[in-house]
């Protein structure tokens, strides 16, 4: 009887991510619905405050980012829910493989499915809100660096509430305050870009937040999952 070689970190990461992507292909609504939600929320703002172009141009960065936060929150709920209810989360916790790699893989898969589409659709949203054309690159860069942070921080909240029956509203209460720094720096970067001012400093700070979230969040999520499956 031969004992198989343990998986390398990279193999484990790919296996878990591959599996999550495969599962997601079967639940297309999980990917599409948050995106539709995002577009609808964006539509509501001009309807609520009037179609005046100047006003929309000024508040476009804020609106897009707030809507992105909310849609991230909406999609995050599913991150561990199914795995928890069908028992595969238990199996991951009982694996001799390092949990934080698996967690990181799941979060990455989740970001590919929900964060990336937001970035792709963002120019369209910016167009609808008459955003300053100069600011488009900044919008894309902040979303590219910022949405992974949303997934990473959000995952902590999801992991803490996944075992609860009514976790949804609680999740937003736990997570939204933690999203504030990223919201501030991202919108500030876009506003600076719209005024044709340098915004590399903001981007540097957002990158730093990303690195911090990337290193700390998987451990917090792992610890939280062990509590939630109790």
Partner 1 sequence: MNSLLRAYQLTCIREDRVLFDELSFTVNAGDLIQIEGANGAGKTSLLRLLAGLSLPYEGEVRYREQAITKCRENYYQNLTFIGHLAGVKGELTTVENLSFSLALQQDRIDNIDNAIERVSLTGFEDSYASHLSAGQNRRIALARLWQSTSKIWILDEPFTAIDKSGVAQLEQLFLDHVARGGAIIFTSHQELQIANHSVQRINLEDQI
Partner 2 sequence: MWKWLHPYAKAERSYQLASTLQPWFAISSIVLLVVGAVWGLAFAPAELYQKEYYRIIYIHVPAATLSMSVYMAMATAVLISMVWQLKLADAAAAAMAPIGATLTAIALITGAIWGAPSWGTSWVWDARLTSYLILVFLYLGVIALHNAFEDKALASRAAGILTLVGVVNIPIIKYSVEWWNTLHQTATISKLSAPSMSSEMLWPLLTNILAFALMIGALTLVRFKNEVLARNAMRPWVRELAAKVGDK
Binding footprint of partner 1 on the chain (CB under 8 A) = 1-4, 6-7, 12, 15, 19, 22-23, 25-27, 82, 85-88, 90-98, 229-230
| Cβ nearer to partner 2, comparing 10 with 165 | 165
- Residue ranges in 118-177 that form contacts with partner 2 under rule CB under 8 A: 156, 160-161, 164, 166-167, 170, 173-174, 176-177
Scan for tokens 């939280």, then name that residue.
224
Q: How far is CA 215 from CA 5, 56, 88, 116, 219, in A?
A: 27, 37, 24, 21, 8
Instruction: Based on the shown chain and the rule CB under 8 A, indicate whether residue 62 belongs to the binding site for partner 2.
Output: no
Q: Which does 8 bind (CB under 5 to 8 A by kind): partner 2, partner 1, none?
A: none
Following DSSP, what letter does each residue of 9-78 receive, concatenated? HHHHHHHHHHHHHHHHHH-HHHHHHHHHHHHHHHHHHHHHH---HHHHHHHHHHHHHHHHHHHHHHHHTH
Tokens encoding 17: 């991510």
CB of 89 to partner 1, least distance (A): 8
Q: Which does 184 bind (CB under 5 to 8 A by kind): partner 2, partner 1, none?
A: partner 2
Beta carbon nearer to partner 1, 94 or 169: 94
Q: Is the dihedral of CA 130, 183, 222, 172 positive or negative?
A: negative
224 binds, options partner 2, partner 1, none, Cβ within 5 to 8 A by partner type = partner 2
CA pair distance 137, 117, nearest whole angstrom: 16
CA proximity to 161, closest of 84, 56, 107, 92: 84
Binding partner of residue 209 among partner 2, partner 1, none, CB cut-off 5 to 8 Å per kind: partner 2
Binding residues (CB under 8 A) for partner 2: these are: 156, 160-161, 164, 166-167, 170, 173-174, 176-178, 180-181, 184-185, 188, 209, 212, 216, 220, 223-224, 227-228, 230
């Amino acid at each position: 009887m031969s004992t198989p070689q343990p998986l390398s970190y990279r193999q484990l990461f790919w296996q878990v991510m591959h599996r999550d992507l495969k599962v997601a292909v079967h639940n297309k609504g999980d990917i599409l619905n948050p995106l539709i939600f995002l577009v609808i929320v964006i539509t509501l703002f001009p309807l609520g405050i009037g179609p005046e172009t100047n006003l929309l141009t000024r508040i476009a960065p804020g609106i897009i980012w707030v809507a992105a936060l909310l849609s991230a929150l909406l999609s995050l709920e599913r991150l561990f829910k199914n795995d928890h209810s069908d028992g595969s989360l238990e199996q991951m916790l009982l694996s001799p493989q390092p949990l934080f790699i698996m967690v990181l893989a799941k979060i990455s898969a989740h970001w590919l499915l929900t964060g990336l589409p937001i970035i792709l659709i963002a120019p369209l949203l910016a167009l609808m809100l008459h955003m300053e054309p100069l600011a488009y690159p900044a919008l894309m860069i902040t979303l590219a660096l910022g949405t992974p942070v949303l997934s990473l921080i959000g995952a902590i909240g999801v992991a803490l509430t996944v075992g609860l029956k009514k976790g949804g509203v609680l999740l937003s209460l736990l997570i939204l305050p933690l999203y504030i720094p990223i919201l501030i720096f991202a919108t500030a970067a876009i506003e600076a870009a719209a005024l044709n001012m340098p915004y590399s400093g903001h981007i540097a700070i957002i990158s730093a937040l990303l690195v911090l979230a990337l290193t700390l969040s998987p451990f917090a999520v792992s610890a939280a999952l062990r509590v939630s499956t109790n």
